[in-house]
């Protein structure tokens, strides 16, 4: 499990403030998934691999496996928690802030391909957290 999976989970979560923040940026679950798919195809193309040349099945749900957090999830959580005074205050917006703070990786590349202003989105999350609505 990596940061992009955490971002998809936040986008699909019932918590309204983060869902609304993402929606304002044009990032609902479907749009994030599409951006991640484009990033995947572009990354493969950079290595000289075209998805069109292969009949690969779409990925499905994880199933019964117990996914373990990858390095990008650990870093997102660490960065997100840096803005929390007490562990009991952790909300999805803190995790979103941690995800958005990454300068490199799948999520920043996918958001760039989607035309998202990551700095503006980060500012919006910070404002929401400062107002206590997240």
Token pair, residue 58, equals 């779409």
Closest CA to 18 of 88, 102, 80: 80
Average pLDDT over residues 45-57: 74
pLDDT in tens, 27-47: 999 999 999 999 988 888 888
Tokens at residue 126, please? 């910070």
Looking at residue 112, what is its pLDDT? 95
**Rounded alpha-carbon distances, angstroms, from residue 124 to 25, 42, 69:** 10, 28, 26
pLDDT band at 106 (very low <50, low <70, confident <90, very high): very high
> In which band, very low, low, confident or very high, does the pLDDT at 131 lie, cut at 50, 70 and 90?
confident
CA 84-123-86 angle, to 5 degrees, is: 5
What average pLDDT does range 101-106 have in this prediction? 91
Domain boundaries along the sequence of the chain: 3-49+71-130
Taking alpha carbons only, the member of 105, 84, 107 closest to residue 10 is 107
Give the per-residue pLDDT at 108: 95
Going by pLDDT thresholds of 50, 70 and 90, the confidence category of residue 14 is: confident
Report, as an integer, the average pLDDT of 92-98. 90
Write the DSSP symbol of residue 50: -
């Amino acid at each position: 499990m990596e940061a992009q999976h955490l971002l998809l989970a936040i986008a699909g979560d019932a918590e309204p403030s983060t869902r609304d923040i993402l929606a304002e940026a044009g990032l609902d679950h479907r749009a994030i998934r599409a951006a991640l798919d484009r990033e995947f195809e572009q990354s493969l193309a950079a290595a000289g691999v075209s998805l069109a040349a292969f009949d690969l099945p779409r990925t499905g749900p994880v199933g019964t496996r117990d996914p373990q957090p990858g390095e990008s999830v650990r870093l997102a959580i660490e960065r997100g928690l840096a803005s929390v005074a007490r562990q009991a205050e952790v909300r999805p917006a803190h995790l979103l802030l941690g995800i958005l703070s990454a300068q490199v990786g799948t999520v920043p590349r996918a958001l760039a391909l989607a035309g998202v202003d990551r700095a503006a989105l980060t500012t919006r999350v910070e404002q929401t957290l400062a107002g206590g609505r997240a």
